[in-house]
Amino acid sequence: MIEISNFTTNVIDEHFVKKVIQKVLKGEKVEDGNLSVAFVGQGRIKALNWKYRGKNRTTDVLAFSEKDVSIEPLPSKIFPFHFQPTYKGL
C-alpha cells in the first residue's frame, strides 16, 4: 500500500507521485510492503529533524522504518520535496 499525505499548501499530484513510487519499487524488485510519503513544510521538517536526529536545521528527506519509530500524526516515511511533474513515460 502506498499512502500520500500533503501537509503543505502546495498542490500535489498524488496519482503522479504514486506512479513514480510504483516504478521505483518495481525497479528495486519490491513486491510487497507499505510506504507512506508525507510532504511537509520547512518548519515541520526542521522540528522533526531536531526531534529524531538532534539537528536543528531543515533537511530534504527523513526516512523511518516502521520498526524503528512511530510518528504521529505523520506516516512512517517522510519525504518532503518539491517537484515538477515533467517526467515522460510514467
| Contact partners, residue 82, CB within 8 Å, separation at least 6 | 10
Q: pTM of the entire structure?
A: 0.66
Question: CA-CA distances (angstroms) from residue 71 to 14, 51, 77, 80?
Answer: 21, 11, 9, 15
Q: Determine the pLDDT at residue 70.
A: 53
pLDDT tens digits for range 7-42: 999 999 999 999 999 998 898 898 887 888 889 988
pLDDT tens digits for range 52-75: 889 999 988 888 776 665 555 444
Query: Are 22 and 2 within 8 A, CB to CB?
Result: yes
Q: Distance between CA 63 and CA 37 in Å, rounded? A: 9
Banded model confidence at residue 83, pLDDT cuts 50, 70, 90: very low
